Homo-oligomer: A and B are copies of this chain.
Amino acid sequence: MSEYNDLKSAVEKLEIMQKKMAAYNHATGLLYFDSVTVAPKDTTAGRGQTMGILTEESYKVFVNDETPKLLEYLKQNEEQLDEKIKLQVKKLDEDYKKISNIPMDEYVQYNMLINDAQSVWHEAKQKNDYLLFEPYLNKIVATVRKFATYLDSSKNPYDVWLNEYEKGLTMEIADEYFAALRTELVPLVHKVMSSKKKIDDSFSYKNYSVRKQEKLSDFLMEVLTIDRNHCNIGQTEHPFTINFNSNDVRITTHYHKNNLLSSMFSVIHEGGHALYELNCDDEYDFTALSGGTSMGIHESQSRFFENIIGRSRSFTNYLYPYLKKMFPVQFKDVTKVMLYEALNKSQPSLIRTEADELTYSLHVMVRYELEKRLINGSLSTKDLPAEWNRLYKEYLGVDVPNDTKGVLQDSHWSGGAIGYFPSYSLGSAYASQMLFHMKKDLDIDALTQKGNLKPIVEWLKERVHKYASSKTPAEIIQICCNEDFKPHYYTDYLKMKFSSIYEI
């Protein structure tokens, strides 16, 4: 290629391009973060225009006549590149093939649609008015389906998206995975439901001042070893984590006056995501390999801290005196055992983010079934709420009283994330497998009992976090466990834990 004098200048071009893309991602990420945290309500239009323009500009930085030539040249000289650059080229080449198939105007249009849809979803959820949101979701589904054919027209559209969020995942694998879970979990859930053991968690629904809950969040962040100079907490309807680079991560939570555990576990969950991002090696920042490698691995980290650590007996022992001191009135008659049991109380419920560890995957299965049908065209967005309610009855045995507590509860679809939900369940399964192998190196109970999470975080940093996106999910599992992904660790873990709690 005559355009490049030497490899060095080509690599420089590649770096500049990636830095530019990172800058646009930072800006559009911040516009989104602003919109759901502190922005005034009626400011969507101007933000939408800015998002549209910046997305278009960012698209042009990547998709143009120059990029394929640059990538081709670098591939041809691959043997002279260092490993890091080689991986960047590989990732960018894959991305290019996919994204360059999406016409720019459609890509920009979609991003503007998402911007509007998120704001409408907020309103619809608040007003319990699904019909307000339905036209937007309808357009999102159509676009997601269309984009799938752009990304890989040889595959089933839903498979395309499963693979986007979790490289290697297909409906075939997911169907089998969820079927296995169902076989193991449904009988267990039934046993738990019919157990005579009754758990009293009423204390957790007493009045907890938001100010004190904020202090508790600060305490939990410290226990999680999160450096607050690089990560803070905002407040949003739906908790989430966003990273601008490995030194600038934000998590959000939602405080409920009459629910201690909701925000507490949101903070631990999002804190797990944040640790992953904060511990990514700096050298991946501002490149195509920045940030966590997949949604499934990301969820493995959040759910490791939320459930495996956060809801363990030993961590409860550690937390108990702190909570008792902070909330002496509400905890007057609460024992350590009561606290442990309360935060592991299992009962079929309506809200995914507040579901217990055992029934959680049933919530995911509902969404998995519905997404599959939405994308395959066998379910219309008009019929979605009725189907949602029907499946909640079938899988969880609960009646959905309104769409706010039903189909409108999650933000994902309003943001275009269809195919994401299965990764939540997969994440739990990965986490259980990691736990099994971590136990060979660390006395986890002894550490969490003392609130000393540093060695645990370090273990994960060395095997998961530091690699950012330079390894595939399967490679990460191999590094952690020295074997392939196996779902039985998850069901073993749940059976052991809940049999003990419910004395079955």
B26 pairs with A248, CB closer than 8 A = no
Q: Are B46 and A247 closer than 8 Å at their CB atoms?
A: yes
Chain B hits for A351, CB < 8 A:
none
**CB of A248, distance to nearest CB on chain B (Å):** 4
A255 within 8 A of B: no
Closest 5 CB pairs of A and B: A23-B53, A43-B248, A42-B229, A27-B27, A46-B245
Nearest chain B CB to A89 CB, angstrom units: 21
* Chain B residues, CB < 8 A from A285: 46
Q: Pick the contact of A30 from B20, B34, B286 — CB < 8 Å? A: B34
A68 contacts the other chain (CB 8 A): no
CB pair A27–B50 under 8 Å, yes or no, is yes
Q: Choose one: B22, B30, B231; the contact of A40 (CB below 8 Å).
A: B231
Taking the nearest CB of chain B, how far is it from the CB of A59, in angstroms? 13
Q: Say whether A244 faces chain B, with CB atoms less than 8 Å apart.
A: yes
With A49-B19, A53-B20, A244-B46 in contact, do A234 and B38 touch (Cβ < 8 Å)?
Answer: yes
On chain B, the residues within 8 Å of A206 by CB distance are none
Can you list 27 contacts pairing A with B, beta carbon distance less than 8 Å?
A19-B49, A22-B49, A22-B50, A23-B50, A23-B54, A24-B54, A26-B31, A26-B50, A30-B30, A33-B34, A37-B38, A39-B232, A39-B248, A40-B228, A40-B229, A40-B232, A42-B227, A42-B247, A43-B229, A43-B244, A43-B248, A46-B244, A46-B247, A46-B285, A47-B244, A49-B286, A50-B244
User: Could you mark each residue 222-246 of chain A with 1 if its beta carbon is under 8 Å from any beta carbon of chain B, else 0?
Assistant: 0000011111101000000000110
Whether A38 contacts B232 by the Cβ 8 Å rule is yes
A337 interface contact, C-beta 8 A: no
Among A39, A40, A41, A231: residue with most chain B CB under 10 A: A40
What residues make up the interface of A, taking CB atoms closer than 8 Å to B?
Answer: 19-20, 22-24, 26-27, 30-31, 33-34, 37-43, 45-47, 49-50, 53-54, 57, 227-232, 234, 244-245, 247-250, 285-286
Q: Are B40 and A38 in contact (CB under 8 A)?
A: no
How far apart are the CA atoms of A225 and B46 in the complex, in Å? Answer: 22
Complex: A19 Cα to B45 Cα, angstroms? 13
A19 close to B230 (CB less than 8 A):
no
Residues in B with CB closer than 8 Å to A54 are: 23-24, 27
Oligomeric state, in copies = 2
C-alpha gap A34/B231 in the complex (Å) = 13
Asked if residues A230 and B37 are in contact (CB atoms below 8 Å), the reply is no
A21 closest partner in B (C-beta): B53
Q: Which residues of chain B have C-beta atoms less than 8 A from A20's C-beta?
A: 53, 57
Q: What is the CB-to-nearest-CB distance from A23 to chain B, in angstroms, rounded to a whole number?
A: 4
* Complex CA–CA separation, A40 to B229 (angstroms): 5
A46 and B26 in contact (CB under 8 A), knowing A38-B234, A57-B20, A234-B38?
yes
Say how far A276's CB is from chain B's closest CB, in angstroms. Answer: 17
- Known contacts A42-B229, A42-B230; 4 additional CB pairs below 8 A are A26-B47, A30-B34, A38-B232, A47-B248
Measured CB to CB, the closest approach of chain B to A246, in angstroms, equals 8
**In the bound complex, what is the Cα–Cα distance between A57 and B26 (angstroms)?**
14
Cα(A34)–Cα(B37), bound, Å: 11
Interface centre among A24, A248, A286 (most CB of B within 10 A): A248
CB distance from A120 to the nearest CB of B (A): 15
Chain B residue numbers with a CB within 8 Å of A43 are 229-230, 244, 247-248
For A285, give the chain B residue with the smallest CB separation: B46
CB–CB B230/A40 < 8 A? yes
- A26–B41 Cα gap in the complex (Å)? 17
Complex Cα distance, B50 from A245, in Å, reads 10
CA–CA, A42 to B250, complex, Å? 13
Query: Within 8 Å CB of A244, what residues of B?
Result: 43, 46-47, 50
Given A26-B50, A232-B38, decide whether A247 and B57 contact each other with a Cβ distance below 8 A.
Answer: no
B23–A49 contact, CB under 8 A? yes
Q: How far is the CA of A286 from the CA of B46 in the complex (A)?
A: 9
Residues of chain B within 8 A (CB-CB) of A23 are 49-50, 53-54, 57
Residue of B nearest to A58 (CB): B57
User: What residues of chain B lie closer than 8 Å to A249, measured between beta carbons?
Assistant: 40
The interface residues of chain B lying within 8 Å CB-to-CB of A40 are: 228-232, 248-250
Chain B residue with minimal CB distance to A37?
B38
In whole Å, how far is A30's beta carbon from the nearest beta carbon of chain B? 6
